[in-house]
């Protein structure tokens, strides 16, 4: 293999000490933001009120009173315990639904951006566009960097920026392609913007270690770093706004954008793109409303004050064996919490457009990514107790765990409900008061109250989506291309697939949590970013158990002639059809057909932003600049260590 090393600038080290969770840093005075107070009362107070109400109603549905239970012959200890367990599981899962819904309400009431910068003020700091990569398609990644540089050059702002590619790849073929493409990018941007590339001989601590090593060697060279993933793209005007915000608000350590999804061609990617475009801002404004300066960081498409990051975000290694011990996987949440602990503001601008990323092409590719995220989020349980963290940052970590813990809780609630339903008889019972009851061999349930609870839960689940649809119908940018009718049809289509995918995701996440509890590590695999067909053997291996569970539940409820079958039908259909649904998720033909009918479309498809066109042209140019026959790499290549890798630059 030809050894190709791309030059790096002279080192300007910046110390990045390892933080101690058991000791408060006692740093600068924390910046405060009084605005989120109302949003926090709406979000958490409203969710608490709704949860207490629903839990009380569920308690009235179930015969939990010892006297009532004995009167109906339910003196069996296991049955009483099962009823209390069902109530507890319902309370937790309903509380999670209520919290999400009330956050959307808070976003409507007080979810506006709070900006500090004046438009078109001169940029003062030096900013690096920092892109860590690990077995990615280097041409695609460098094309995005070229497009950003071209936009900044057109705005006459390129002199304030540099590009730095940080490689953690280990495959010699990938390394050769990365170095050659970086050389082509430097030649393309000669006289416009410096381009640096370096790879590590040892990729310890993964992405977090990659960035930490960069800060330790070159941190003093830059005021700000815009952290990018290999699929990230940020418009020039957006980059300028981020820098101006950091210049104007010297107390901000991290400023996070809300990336949109783009470029997806498979059915699953198009579903996610549409949902992120229509519903994403609703959730983001709600999050921004209550977090204020105690914000979170998603690891990319954000600008960071390098000094703040260096002095407060050096991550320690967690004690104990994997998966809980070792390097911190979901480092971004923890870095945000530590920077906030040191007194810097961590803010978000959900209304700032011009920030994009790509979506996994299939349901199983998303599951691979979720497996890694789930392990990282569970690991945060060991970080929450760190001294000096503000409670919203602890809440971010708990909510991250709940994103995955709700699946096994939901599965447990369904399992307990099915176990109790084995005693359900075929006829309702009237008690003479006008209330309907479901009669078990030894128990009765208040059917009318249960139906009311069901509709309350569905209303809260759908509330953020309804707000997003209303926003889309009123926002010309969102409905101008497809029209209002097609947008409504797209929302219905997205809802149908969400319902069908939900039980599949429930089972996948439950398996993830089980593997984590057993100590199984997620590993570090390259991300798949291109659409592809999933082999049927793999589909059967990953979804065969789910399909069997759906068929078993159907057979059991049918044999019992239980009315619970109708209530569980959406979940059962999703499980029974798990294999074809997963196969369909990666279908490029289905995605293309929907696009031709202008369904599940996004504004980027109707009126592509200039930077997307620049990126496409840059990719064609870079591929044409590589030597003939040069091996093309793509995500998903073998990431096994290579003994003959070139010397570290």
Could you write out the DSSP letters of every residue in 68-126?
HHHHTT---HHHHHHHHHHHHHHHHHHHHHHHHHHHHHHHHHH------PPTTPPP-S-
Distance CA 303, CA 222 (A): 12
User: Which residues, including other chains, have CB under 8 Å from residue 283's CB and lie 6 or more apart?
Assistant: 100, 103, 104, 107, 464
pLDDT band, very low/low/confident/very high, at 519 (cuts 50, 70, 90): confident
Average of per-residue pLDDT across 606-629:
88
Q: Are 362 and 585 in contact (CB under 8 A)?
A: yes
Q: 220-229, 444-453, 537-546, 603-612: which range is least confident on average?
A: 444-453
Query: What are 134's two structure tokens?
Result: 């690990």
Q: Are 50 and 102 in contact (CB under 8 A)?
A: yes
HSE, CB side, 13 Å, CA atoms: give it for residue 3: 6
pLDDT band, very low/low/confident/very high, at 528 (cuts 50, 70, 90): low
Instruction: Judge whether residue 94 has pLDDT over 50.
Output: yes
User: Which residues, including other chains, have CB under 8 Å from residue 497's CB and lie 6 or more apart?
Assistant: 271
Residue 138: strand, helix, or coil = helix
Q: Are 509 and 412 in contact (CB under 8 A)?
A: no
Q: How many other C-beta atoms are found inside a 10 Å radius of the C-beta of residue 485?
A: 9
Distance CA 88, CA 69 (A): 18
Residue 289: strand, helix, or coil = helix
Give me the sign of the Cα torsion angle 40, 46, 51, 52.
positive
Q: Are 211 and 132 in contact (CB under 8 A)?
A: yes
Taken as a whole, the chain contains a residue count of 649
Distance CA 277, CA 296 (A): 20
Average of per-residue pLDDT across 36-40:
92
| CB burial of residue 119 (10 Å; 0-12, 13-18, 19+) | exposed
Q: Are 458 and 465 in contact (CB under 8 A)?
A: no
Q: 56-70, 218-232, 428-442, 511-525: which range is least confident on average?
A: 428-442
CA 645 to chain centre: 33
User: Which residues, including other chains, have CB under 8 Å from residue 56's CB and lie 6 or more apart?
Assistant: none
Instruction: Judge whether residue 589 has pLDDT over 90.
Output: yes
Cα separation of the two ends of the chain: 16
HSE, CB side, 13 Å, CA atoms: give it for residue 49: 7
Distance CA 586, CA 531 (A): 6
pLDDT computed for residue 301 by the predictor: 98
Q: Which parts of 126-218 fold into alpha helices (H)? A: 138-154, 172-188, 206-218
Distance CA 200, CA 179 (A): 13
pLDDT band, very low/low/confident/very high, at 526 (cuts 50, 70, 90): low
Distance CA 162, CA 160 (A): 7
Q: Are 407 and 437 in contact (CB under 8 A)?
A: no
C-alpha pair distances (Å), 115 with each of 29, 112, 247, 601: 21, 9, 12, 30
Average of per-residue pLDDT across 445-453:
79
pLDDT computed for residue 434 by the predictor: 42
| Three state DSSP letters for 378-431 | HHHHHCCCCCCCCHHHHHHHHHHHHHHHHHHHHHHHHHHHHHHHCCEEEEEEEC
pLDDT computed for residue 86 by the predictor: 92
Q: How many other C-beta atoms are found inside a 10 Å radius of the C-beta of residue 360?
A: 24
Distance CA 444, CA 205 (A): 56
Distance CA 108, CA 118 (A): 25
Compute the C-alpha angle 297/298/300, nearest 5°.
Answer: 105
User: Smallest Cα–Cα separation from 364: which of 584, 548, 572?
Assistant: 584
CA 240 to chain centre: 25
pLDDT computed for residue 442 by the predictor: 43
Average of per-residue pLDDT across 4-17:
84
Average of per-residue pLDDT across 302-319:
96
User: Smallest Cα–Cα separation from 227: which of 153, 114, 329, 133?
Assistant: 133
pLDDT computed for residue 557 by the predictor: 87
What's the pLDDT tens digit per position in 189-206? 999 999 999 999 888 888
Average of per-residue pLDDT across 77-102:
91
Q: Are 467 and 282 in contact (CB under 8 A)?
A: yes
What's the pLDDT tens digit per position in 110-145? 877 788 877 889 999 999 999 999 999 999 999 999
Identify the bridge partners of residue 314 per DSSP, sorted by sequence position. Answer: 18
Give the mean pLDDT of the chain.
88
User: Smallest Cα–Cα separation from 459: which of 209, 17, 97?
Assistant: 97
Query: What are 481's two structure tokens?
Result: 């291309």
pLDDT computed for residue 562 by the predictor: 75
pLDDT band, very low/low/confident/very high, at 322 (cuts 50, 70, 90): confident
Helix, strand and coil content of the chain, in percent to the nearest 5, comes to 55, 10, 35
Distance CA 630, CA 623 (A): 9
Identify the bridge partners of residue 445 per DSSP, sorted by sequence position. Answer: 438
Classify strands 345-349 and 252-257 as parallel, antiparallel or unpaired: parallel
Query: What are 472's two structure tokens?
Result: 């889309």
Q: Which parts of 219-362 fold into alpha helices (H)? A: 236-248, 267-278, 280-291, 306-312, 331-341
Q: Which has the higher per-residue pLDDT, 320 or 56?
A: 56
pLDDT band, very low/low/confident/very high, at 433 (cuts 50, 70, 90): very low
Q: How many other C-beta atoms are found inside a 10 Å radius of the C-beta of residue 544?
A: 12
Average of per-residue pLDDT across 370-375:
93
Query: What are 636's two structure tokens?
Result: 């998903």
What's the pLDDT tens digit per position in 259-295? 999 999 999 999 999 999 999 999 999 999 999 999 9
Strand order across the 252-257 sheet:
195-199, 161-167, 127-133, 224-227, 302-305, 252-257, 345-349
pLDDT computed for residue 428 by the predictor: 43
Average of per-residue pLDDT across 482-487:
92
Query: What are 497's two structure tokens?
Result: 């697939």
Q: Are 232 and 300 in contact (CB under 8 A)?
A: yes
CA 148 to chain centre: 24
Average of per-residue pLDDT across 83-105:
95
Distance CA 208, CA 285 (A): 28
Average of per-residue pLDDT across 624-646:
51
Query: What are 36's two structure tokens?
Result: 């989120």
Distance CA 643, CA 370 (A): 30
């Amino acid at each position: 293999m030809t050894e190709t090393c791309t030059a790096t600038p002279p080192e300007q080290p910046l110390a990045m000490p390892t933080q101690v969770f058991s000791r408060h840093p006692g740093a600068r005075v924390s910046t405060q933001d009084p605005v989120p107070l109302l949003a926090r009362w709406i979000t958490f107070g409203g969710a608490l009120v709704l949860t207490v109400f629903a839990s009380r109603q569920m308690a009235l549905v179930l015969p939990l009173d010892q006297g009532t239970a004995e009167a109906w012959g339910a003196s069996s200890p296991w049955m009483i315990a099962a009823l209390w367990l069902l109530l507890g599981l319902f309370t937790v899962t309903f509380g999670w639904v209520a919290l999400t819904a009330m956050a959307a309400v808070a976003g409507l009431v007080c979810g506006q951006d709070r900006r500090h910068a004046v438009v078109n003020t001169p940029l003062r700091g030096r900013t690096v566009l920092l892109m860590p990569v690990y077995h990615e398609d280097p041409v695609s990644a460098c094309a995005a960097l070229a497009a950003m540089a071209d936009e900044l050059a057109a705005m006459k702002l390129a002199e304030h920026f540099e590009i730095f590619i940080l490689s953690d790849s280990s495959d010699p073929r990938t390394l050769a392609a990365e170095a050659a493409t970086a050389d082509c990018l430097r030649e393309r941007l000669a006289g416009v913007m410096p381009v640096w590339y370096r790879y590590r001989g040892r990729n310890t601590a993964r992405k977090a270690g990659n960035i930490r090593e960069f800060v330790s060697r070159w941190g003093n060279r830059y005021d700000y770093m815009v952290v990018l993933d290999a699929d990230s793209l940020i418009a020039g005007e957006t980059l300028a706004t981020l820098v101006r915000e950091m210049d104007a608000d010297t107390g901000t350590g991290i400023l996070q954008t809300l990336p949109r999804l783009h470029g997806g061609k498979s059915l699953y990617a198009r579903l996610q793109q549409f949902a992120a475009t229509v519903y994403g801002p609703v959730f983001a404004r709600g999050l921004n409303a209550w977090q204020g300066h105690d914000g979170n960081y998603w690891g990319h498409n954000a600008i960071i004050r390098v000094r703040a990051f260096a002095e407060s975000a050096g991550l320690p290694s967690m004690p104990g064996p994997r998966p809980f011990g070792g390097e911190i996987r979901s480092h971004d949440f923890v870095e945000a919490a530590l920077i906030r602990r040191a007194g810097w503001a961590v803010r978000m601008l959900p209304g700032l457009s011009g920030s994009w990323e790509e979506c996994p092409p299939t349901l199983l590719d998303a599951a691979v990514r979720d497996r890694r995220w789930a392990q990282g989020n569970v690991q945060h349980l060991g970080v929450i107790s760190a001294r000096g963290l503000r409670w919203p940052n602890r809440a971010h970590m708990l909510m991250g765990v709940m994103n995955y813990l709700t699946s096994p809780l939901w599965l447990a609630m369904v399992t307990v409900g099915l176990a109790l339903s084995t005693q359900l008889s075929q006829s309702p019972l009237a008690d003479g008061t006008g209330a309907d009851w479901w009669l078990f061999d030894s128990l009765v349930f208040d059917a009318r109250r249960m139906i009311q609870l069901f509709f309350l839960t569905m209303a809260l689940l759908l509330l953020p989506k309804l707000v997003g649809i209303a926003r889309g119908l009123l926002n010309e940018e969102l409905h101008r291309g497809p029209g209002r009718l097609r947008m409504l049809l797209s929302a219905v289509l997205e809802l149908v697939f969400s319902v069908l995918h939900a039980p599949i995701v429930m089972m996948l996440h439950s398996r993830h949590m089980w593997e984590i509890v057993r100590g199984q590590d997620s590993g570090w695999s390259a991300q798949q970013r291109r659409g592809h067909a999933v082999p049927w053997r793999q589909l059967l291996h990953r979804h065969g158990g789910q399909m069997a569970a759906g068929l078993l539940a159907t057979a059991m409820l049918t044999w019992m002639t239980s009315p619970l079958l109708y209530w569980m039908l959406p979940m059962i259909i999703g499980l029974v059809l798990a294999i074809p649904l997963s196969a369909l998720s990666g279908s490029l033909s289905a995605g293309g057909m929907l696009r031709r009918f202008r369904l599940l479309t996004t504004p980027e498809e109707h009126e592509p932003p200039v930077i997307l066109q620049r990126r496409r042209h840059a990719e064609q140019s870079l591929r044409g600049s590589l030597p003939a026959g040069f091996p093309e790499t793509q995500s998903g290549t073998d990431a096994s260590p290579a003994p003959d890798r070139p010397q570290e630059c």
